[in-house]
Amino acid sequence: MSATTADQARARARSKSGSLRRQHQWALWGSYSALTAFVIMFLTPPFYMLMTSLKTSAEISAEKGNPWIVQSPTINNFVELITSPSFQRYFFNSAWVTTLVVIISMSIAILAAFSLSRMGFKGSQAIATGVFLTYLVPPSLLFIPLFQIVGWLNLLDNTWVLVLLFPTLAVPFCTWIMIGYFGSIPRELDEAALIDGASYMQILFQIFIPVALPGIIAATIFAFTVGWGAFLYPLAFLYKGEQLVLTVGIVSELIRGDVFAWGKIMAACVIGALPPILIYTFLMDYYIAGLTAGATKG
């Protein structure tokens, strides 16, 4: 009698745990299918970009058949772009501008973050707040007064203007990330180094930079993203072909008049999107960790 009730109870428990597991399985499959739907939606434009870049002009202008799939794939668009001197010029300009912007922004941000997070002085709190408040004045608010200022400096239509201006977009956020990382380094570490007679510069270069390397990678990726992808400043301040960078070059040079060489434009976009995609593929985890360092604390 008692054995049967125990059996029944066990059976009931088993069936209940089974239904729970089944419920869990269903939730999991639901999540996977919803995520698949989102991925398809999110990847539609890049997919179409890639497909169009592989089409011939004839296929695009024929306007027949399924536009989502390329009928006679060709790499001609890419070959034409890579061998075109003006496109090489844009790519090269973007590359050196981005490199310089990353180096300048990171140097400024690391020095300032070290000073603000460890060497506090009168007014350091005000500067930290000021760094944040620079978000109040986005590029779209500044480009008109800057247009005048850049004119005085004789830098209109000169790629170097971007080396001057892009750090203003990257530095505040990079400093913010670095302050967070430096702040998480235990104070005992640098106190010990200080007692051993290390100078502040030694502490920065031999302790802080190696320890905060993940943060430095995160901030570097951010600076790279800004330098490579920003659109408004180059559009407002650069005009001539040989001074343009990739983003503006594609928009303004390849779209001439009413003729849209869509195959070529999309191929150029694929080439322009490739460096950021490569970087994120390998270093995404660092970037996300840096971005969300503050979020997880709150």
Partner 1 sequence: MADGSGVAIGSGQPVAAPRRVGSLRKLGRRRSVTAIILCLPLIAIIFGLKLWPTLYGIYLSMLNRKMTEFIGLDNFTFLLGRNTFQMVLFQSCLFAVSAVIFKAVLGFILAHLMHNIRGKYERVWRGLLLVPWVIPLSLSTLSWWWLLDPSYSAFNWTLEWLGFQKISFLGEAWNARFVVILVNTWFGAPFFMIMYLAALKSVPDQLYEAASIDGANAWQKLIYVTLPMMRNIIAITMLYSLIVTFADFDIVRILTNGGPQDTTHLFATYAFTIGIQSGNIPRGAAVSLFMLPILATFAFFILRGVNRRTKEIN
CB 152 within 8 A of CB 265: no
Nearer to partner 1, 46 or 241 (CB): 46
Phi/psi at 181 (5° precision):
-70, -45
108 near partner 1 (CB under 8 A) = yes
The two beta strands, 255-256 and 259-260, are: antiparallel
Nearer to partner 1, 18 or 46 (CB): 46
Nearer to partner 1, 89 or 172 (CB): 172
Select from 4-12, 84-92, 161-169, 212-220 the region that touches partner 1 (CB under 8 A).
Answer: 161-169
Contacts of 47-54 with C-beta under 8 Å, sequence gap 24+, read 48/266, 49/266, 49/269, 49/270, 49/273, 50/266, 50/270, 52/262, 52/263, 52/266, 53/77, 53/78, 53/263, 53/266, 53/267, 53/269, 53/270, 54/263
CB 292 within 8 A of CB 176: no
User: Kind and range of the H or E element at 204?
Assistant: none
Nearer to partner 1, 18 or 294 (CB): 294
Q: Site for partner 1 (CB under 8 A): which residue of 66, 72, 83, 154? A: 66
**What string marks each residue from 38 to 57 as x (binds partner 1 by CB under 8 A) or -?**
xx-xxxxxx-xx--x-----
Q: Site for partner 1 (CB under 8 A): which residue of 180, 215, 238, 243? A: 180
103 near partner 1 (CB under 8 A) = no
138: left (phi over 0), alpha (psi -120 to 50) or beta: beta
Q: Site for partner 1 (CB under 8 A): which residue of 70, 91, 190, 215? A: 190
Nearer to partner 1, 5 or 240 (CB): 240
CB of 266 to partner 1, least distance (A): 6
3 near partner 1 (CB under 8 A) = no
**What string marks each residue from 243 to 262 as x (binds partner 1 by CB under 8 A) or -?**
----xx-xx----------x
247-267 burial, b at 16+ Cβ within 10 Å, e below that, comes to: bbbbbebbeeeeeebbbbbbb
Return the DSSP state at 74.
-
Q: Site for partner 1 (CB under 8 A): which residue of 128, 216, 219, 238? A: 128
130 near partner 1 (CB under 8 A) = yes
Select from 9-17, 81-89, 144-152, 212-220 the region that touches partner 1 (CB under 8 A).
Answer: 144-152
Q: Site residues for partner 1, window 262-281 (CB under 8 A)?
A: 262, 265-266, 269, 272-273, 276-277, 280-281
CB of 112 to partner 1, least distance (A): 4
125 near partner 1 (CB under 8 A) = yes
90 three-class SS: helix
**First CA to last CA distance, the chain:** 56
**What string marks each residue from 200 to 239 as x (binds partner 1 by CB under 8 A) or -?**
x------------------------x--xx-xx--xx---
Q: Site residues for partner 1, window 71-100 (CB under 8 A)?
A: none
User: Can you tell me which residue has the tokens 């913010």?
Assistant: 176
CB 245 within 8 A of CB 90: yes
- The site that binds partner 1 (CB under 8 A) totals a number of residues, namely 105
